[in-house]
Structure 1
Amino acid sequence: MLGSRLEAAREQAFVGREEEIALFKAALYGGGCNVLYVHGPGGIGKSALLRRFAHEATLAGRPVTTLDGRTLEPSPTAFATAFATAFATAFATHAQPAPGHPDPILLIDNFERIQALESWLRERFLPHLPLTALVAIAARNPPDIRWQADPGWTTALTILPLHDLPPTDAQALLDSCAVPPDLRDPLLTFAGGHPLALLLGAAVAIKDGHASTRWTPHHNVVATLLDQLVGELPTPAHQHALEICAHAHLTTETLLRAALPHDAPHLFRWLRHLPFIESSPHGLLPHDLVRELLDTDLRWRDPDGYTTMHNRIYTHLADTIRTTTDTDVLPAVASLLYLHRNHHTPTHHHHQEGHQEGQFQEDTLHPHDLGTLLRLATTAEGPASARTAAHWAAHHPEAFRLYRRTETGELVAFSTWLRLTEPDDHHLTADPIVAAAWTHARATTPLRAGEHLAISRLWVLPQHRDTSPVLDLIQSRIIGNCLRAERMAWSYIAIRRPNRAWTEHLQRYGMRTIPAQPRLDNTPYTLFVHDWRAVPAHTWLDRMNRLLLGRTTDTPDPTTSDLAVLSQTEFTEAVRKALRQLPRPGALATSPLARTRLIADQAPQDPGTALSDLLRQAIDDLREDPRSAKLHRALSITFLHGTPTQELAAEQLGLPFTTYRRHLTTGIERICTDLWHRELHGADVPAHQST
């Protein structure tokens, strides 16, 4: 019969689930529970497992009664009637049950369709079954907490959450489908260990004569899987909330509110109860396959909507990094970097390779750590490098971050973030890397008043130098330091003999190398440098976001162009010249001031117009202070009213020429001082708070 042929094919395709089958067999032969509750997302293999349970029960001579929630009305009467009918059918087709096993096995599939009966089933129906009865329930949703809260069900119930197949079983499933070797890697990359995705992807890929190692699922495959895994959603708002959850690394109610302002509390509560959503200490995260399908579908279906959603999440995470506490910086940066997961970088590959999060923890330096730290430095980079670590541990212990294996506390790496405001001969002699950084900074664009530079070093045991969660933690700390720094001019990252992948990765993210290569133990170190005055944090983030969305950064963009970094002398001379050019806005567009932070902080507009407005406002602001009123009058008549000569300006003000000149000179100096303060500190910081 056809049914037998179908069952044989399903049996051949079934792989894995040994632990679940062993628990069922134990219960089948009287050594286990009475009820097994299997739950997991759609397509994870619940129905296949129940069919295997039925096969094992048949082999044991137990009649099997099967109910499907898709065909039942969610009422006690309908359920009881269906059970009685199926029960009678099971015994009719199994006329000679094994001696000692008169009771059938009850299998309830797709229970989420009749989830409303859960309380009735637990309180009324199941307790009236014989003691030798065995029931297996399969549902997308986990059981109600009241099962576990009831002492009566403690030993009678076993809960089996069903997860993806492990790699060996996933390979075995592809074996059963006769998938060619060259198609396996792309299929596993797409589907992971999700059985339905593997089977559907394999069927499509095998039939595709052009499929290769670069195979990706067609949108029809994506749509089919979404229908199976997610199904119909209540409203467009619920759809959008789920898409946000799929795109973000971890979704909190705060993040959801930032990306979807309306009704975030309700939608967050809805998300956390979905069968393919898991809760973690830091927020909600969807099943990997559901995440990938939703993100791929939205990006294909609504590119503009995808970009809008992404930008809101990106902006929220960037703001969180700048404002959160130091202890929460790492998860915040990790969430931002997770948005780069589809861009191949030296780090973050481990997310796709099965490494567990939380393997390593960050710590600060304590006095008792020094011996272990120096031994690690010697092993990682040699005695000369260890001596520099000892030097900085003595002078700046707060600059150190240590990285330990969570289970054992073993130190595997450490890093430093040196915040330096001026060169010190003692430090320059002790550390050639710091000396090279200061030489570069002073020869290029020196630090201005109140600015500092930062130098990052990392010491990592050899076995963790390539793709490792430890490097992710160190990278997250460096990025967090850069984005949270105030008045940082330069940042330097020193890496011992970086490989090509690391070099390309850092250059892609705006870090360039300097010619000098200082040496320790005769080994060269490459310094990757970034000028945060020329490309401030917000501009750097915008460039990274453009890369993330697949937009080239080769096309000039006035909102993300490098800024001019002027010394105070250069800045003052540029202000004086710009004041003289006020009547000619076209000339102001070529002023060095048009490329400074002073203008970049203004609302998007023509740089020449923005500079003209800024200078006019600076002059006008002097009128608010009675002590500066005379300065305002001298500046206004000279630069705003187009008076042809200074002599005529003095005459119109009714002042002696020397008095007018004194007012004008003082006024210009005041404008230069005020604007320099804004260039260094921003428009929102009053002068008295800048020191």
Structure 2
Amino acid sequence: MPQRMSDLLTACAHQNFVGRIAELTILGTLLEPQGPRVMHVHGIAGIGKTTLLARFASIARTHGATVIQLDCRHVEPTEQGVLSALSEAIGVAAQDTGVVVDRLGGLGGIVVLAFDAFEVFRLLDTWLRQVFIPSLPENVRVVLGGRQPPAAAWYTSPGWGQLMRAVPVSSLTENEARDFLLTLGISEKHGAIIARSTHGHPLALKLAAAALREVTPEQWPTDTPLQHALDELTHIFLEDVNDAVTRRVLEGSAVVRRVTLSLLQVLFPDLAPRDALERLRRLPFVDATSDGLMIHDAVREAIARSLHASDPERYLEYRRAAWRQLTREAGSVGGGDLWRYTADVLFMIENPIVREAFFPSGSPAALTVEMASVVDETALTDILHACEGREATESILRWWHRIPRAFSVVRDSAGRTVGFYCKFRSDELESGWMLDDPIMEQWYSHLKRYPMPKDSIALFCRRWLSLGDGDSPGEAQAAVWLDLKRAYMELRPRLRRVYLTVTDLEAYAPVARRLGFEVLAERTVVLDGRQYHSAVLDFGPASVDGWLADLAAAELGVQQEIGLLDVDARELVLDEGRVALTPLEFGVTRYLVARRGKAVSRSELLREVWGTRYEGGSNVVDAVVRTLRRKLGGQADRIETVTGVGYRLREP
């Protein structure tokens, strides 16, 4: 039977694979009846984790196992996102845990679930460890491949000690590195020098082999740190790219998370996007994925740093052009595709307060956040008594007895409970319960005065506390905020607002303002002689994705609105000056801006801005649009009437 090209490519990849005997031996124990059930493969960027997982997958298949590989970069980091990706991979229609588990058990034999790039799944670590993996049938094994070692909870949680094993991946030995370079066509003489100067790092070895035409190995420093070596080799490689077009395309593509034809078209309008894509595809550190090209992180970061240092204006223009295209495309996608654009826009944000809140880049914290259970009541009560007065304690305990599932606890590396927080969804609460709580009563009143569109959700983060820090910033609070981002992702695009309360207002004020929170000064409540301040974050009509796009726009200095809509001041910023907007004018303007270029119906505006489905009220929409046009003055024609539909905001 003739071989397919994919078969030949796989065969070549296996021939070029060298070393990793110890790691493959450990991974092989997953296929044994009494072996571990979970493996954490971890190592720094570019060390060869993906290649190792691919090699193990091939070996496992030859032993009769079924292997299902997921790239976490392309899966939404929510429970539903994982179930959706797995459902598609194993051929079931229902995105339900029970259905997925039954299907995996019914596949027969050993089934290996391999999650690559697991570092981007930090938001889901607890759910996978506590809920999903324990529910898997006996024949399923799990491999988690990422940059960080497993979180401490994998070692401290009862039972995991015997079922989980960590597999660190380090650099190739000098002999292995030389063998690898031989497969790339590098002579033994040059291979020995390259192996030493690159520290045996596989990605650095590939870059060195590709850059050999420009600089001889004898000219390379041999005692430099790995990151410096990677930066230098990337620079040498760029210099060795002997056509300016490819070099330019590579530099511009380094500012985005993934490279698509549409992005190449806006980044390089004078080039043929398909040709630009093919130029990138041929490079040794670029991977073709199901939704675009991915430049290896270590190389992309080195190129972006170099461009930012040498030509900051061009670097900024590339990012601005990419932001405009991504936000334009995001307005017309949904489902699984929405996550890709969320991740793309989030990548455009360099503000560490935002980026680290969703995807922390450091090692896993010693603290983990887990759903509280009945055995946590004593610890929770002790924390309340240590941090709160009688009135405040009783208010929280009433919620604990009503909805214990809304509580999560923060545990240290020894498994001790050192903090907690509780959050509630507006669509799951009875109004009487909110009115029974002096702080939630204020939030309920605010919602009544400023209603959300129908079917929108508000998230009430009622309290977070930790031993030692109370509600002030600390490690436990950081863990809570990270867990909250998981809720943001799960509830979007219906999530519209987040309400929270703190006593230590000044400690959070600078960060909160930067993220768009508004302090509700008139909603302050006094309990036990202490002031409890409330704040609200309104994500806007496009939910979390629109909020992230606005944060990126502010950072990039993109004037994305009509003239410029100052969201915080609720004003139009026009050439002739600022113009204040009423709440309804602001709501209509913001909604049209979020969907600029697209027709928006009157009923849609009624639902999203007025919070009503009453079709007979469409005249009030027309009245607000008339006043908006008057305030826009010379730009009034930016709001176009779409006959039989509603309105559209025209690009300037």
Larger Rg: 1
In the superposition, the TM-score normalised over structure 1's length comes to 0.44
Q: TM-score, normalised to structure 2's length?
A: 0.46
